[in-house]
């Protein structure tokens, strides 16, 4: 079972890495099934291989593959940022926040920047991501590729499963959350958070798997690379907007910033701060991935 | 420093060529440290990049690795630093307890 989990985590490593070390690592895990710490080491190792790719195993990949991986990485970061965006939207949807924005213009500017970034990002996804999806759908249909069809269905299935989990949690939740003990809240919320994280992970990773299977042509990848650059600008807008909003809320409206940000979160300020941290990290990673895609596109052109 | 996976792997390969599982077993026997798969292969990839070890032709699903000349020199330098640290540390401890 642990060897199986290890093999599943291997899928998180970059494709050229798996081509070079995958079989050996599987053999090692058959001989020595990983413990929980071992599984965590695979997660950390996969993240490190993506962020700081080595020379020898990466050199085995073609520019086309590198381009596809980097484009997938940029889209993956956008998914992570979307979580921060949704948290921001949920936290600030009440009328008191709109009133505070009317009183303090930097709050309105921050909110506007987040919204503008979200809209720009959606346009970039439509420009670069939709052709990739359309190509994969056509390929799955024309070649009757069941595996590709399955991969295409993963993200919608994950969203549907999470929506179902949300309904179950809401049905089980007591009427008065304020009078519920923290362990009881955690018992309900931790599976929900875990489900949410799993849903985001599937939605972030499924496009990479779809692209690996459908092998989009260079032209479509070039378009996606251009979209990736726009996506980074959109993410910068969102991150800057969040920073302005969080800082202004803390200084001008400490009572709003300090009020409970959810059943277990101590405050709205902390939730928004965490959202900003996630947005910052995903934007930094997206910038690296987008730059790599551009370099790979140049290599592909000169090859 | 004694827990640095790169030093542990190099120390293991200094005793002869080994594949992943053999390195894990050898390191555990030498130091009691169990190298996790992600840690081991992260170290192997880095050492291979730096040409401190080299991969040999695979036998079945397993691929043995061998330490290079540069790897042996790097290991010697690391171990020398460790030995110096150990002797200075021990001398200070003895002086403090005397």
The pLDDT value given to residue A190: 87
Q: List beta partners, residue B65.
A: B18, B55
Q: Residue A264 pLDDT > 80, yes or no?
A: no
In this prediction, residues A230-257 reach a mean pLDDT of 92
In this prediction, residue A187 has a pLDDT band, given cuts at 50, 70 and 90, of confident
**Chain A closest-CA separation from residue B48 CA (Å):** 7
Q: Residue A303 pLDDT > 90, yes or no?
A: no
Contact A54 B49 (CB under 8 A): yes
Contact B42 A49 (CB under 8 A): yes
ipTM of the complex: 0.87
In whole angstroms, how far apart are CA A61 and each of A58, A65, A289, A297? 6, 6, 16, 13
A238: which 2 tokens?
A: 């969102």
Contact B36 A27 (CB under 8 A): no
Chain A hits for B45, Cβ within 8 Å? 17, 20-21, 49, 54, 56-57
pLDDT tens digits for A144-179?
A: 999 999 999 999 999 999 999 989 888 887 766 666
Name the residue with higher pLDDT: B16 or A5: B16
**Which of A7, A32, A36 to mutate to probe the B interface, most B CBs <10 Å?**
A32
In this prediction, residues B70-77 reach a mean pLDDT of 96
pTM over 0.80: no
pLDDT tens digits for B35-57?
A: 999 999 999 999 999 999 999 99
In this prediction, residue A120 has a pLDDT band, given cuts at 50, 70 and 90, of very high
Contact of A52 with chain B, judged by CB distance below 8 Å, is answered with no
Taking one residue from A and the other from B, the number of pairs with CB-CB distance under 8 angstroms is 72
- Percent of chain A scored above 70 by pLDDT? 95
- Percent of chain B scored above 90 by pLDDT? 89
The pLDDT value given to residue A282: 94
pLDDT tens digits for A19-49?
A: 889 999 999 999 989 999 999 999 999 988 8
The pLDDT value given to residue B13: 96
In this prediction, residues A100-129 reach a mean pLDDT of 94
């Amino acid at each position: 079972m642990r060897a199986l989990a290890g093999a599943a985590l291997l899928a998180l490593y970059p494709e050229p890495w798996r081509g070079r070390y995958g079989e050996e690592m599987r053999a090692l895990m058959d001989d020595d099934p990983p413990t929980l710490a071992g599984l965590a080491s695979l997660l950390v190792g996969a993240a490190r291989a993506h962020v700081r790719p080595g020379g020898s195993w990466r050199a085995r990949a073609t520019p086309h593959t590198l381009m596809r991986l980097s484009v997938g990485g940029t889209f993956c970061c956008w998914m992570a940022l979307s979580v921060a965006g949704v948290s921001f939207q949920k936290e600030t949807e009440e009328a008191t926040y709109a009133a505070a924005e009317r009183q303090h213009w930097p709050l309105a500017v921050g909110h506007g920047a987040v919204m503008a970034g979200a809209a720009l990002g959606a346009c970039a996804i439509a420009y670069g991501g939709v052709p990739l999806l359309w190509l994969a759908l056509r390929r799955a249909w024309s070649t009757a590729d069941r595996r590709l069809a399955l991969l295409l269905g993963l993200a919608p299935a994950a969203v549907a499963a999470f929506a179902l989990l949300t309904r179950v949690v809401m049905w089980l939740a007591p009427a008065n959350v304020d009078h519920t003990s923290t362990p009881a809240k955690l018992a309900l919320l931790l599976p929900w958070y875990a489900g949410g994280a799993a849903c985001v992970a599937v939605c972030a990773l499924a496009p990479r798997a779809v692209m690996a299977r459908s092998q989009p042509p260079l032209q479509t990848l070039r378009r996606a690379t251009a979209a990736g650059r726009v996506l980074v600008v959109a993410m910068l807008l969102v991150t800057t907007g969040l920073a302005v909003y969080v800082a202004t809320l803390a200084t001008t409206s400490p009572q709003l910033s300090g009020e409970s940000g959810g059943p277990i979160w101590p405050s709205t300020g902390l939730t928004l701060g965490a959202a900003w941290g996630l947005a910052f990290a995903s934007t930094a990673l997206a910038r690296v991935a987008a730059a790599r895609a551009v370099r790979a596109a140049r290599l592909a052109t000169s090859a | 420093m004694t827990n640095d996976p790169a030093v542990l792997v190099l120390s293991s390969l200094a005793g002869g060529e080994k594949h992943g599982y053999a390195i894990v077993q050898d390191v555990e026997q030498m130091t009691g440290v169990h190298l996790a798969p992600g840690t081991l292969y992260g170290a192997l990839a880095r050492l291979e990049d730096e040409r401190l070890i080299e991969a040999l032709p695979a036998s079945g699903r397993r691929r043995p690795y061998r330490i290079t000349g540069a790897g042996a020199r790097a290991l010697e330098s690391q171990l020398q630093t460790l030995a110096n640290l150990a002797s200075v540390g021990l001398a200070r401890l003895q002086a403090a307890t005397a």
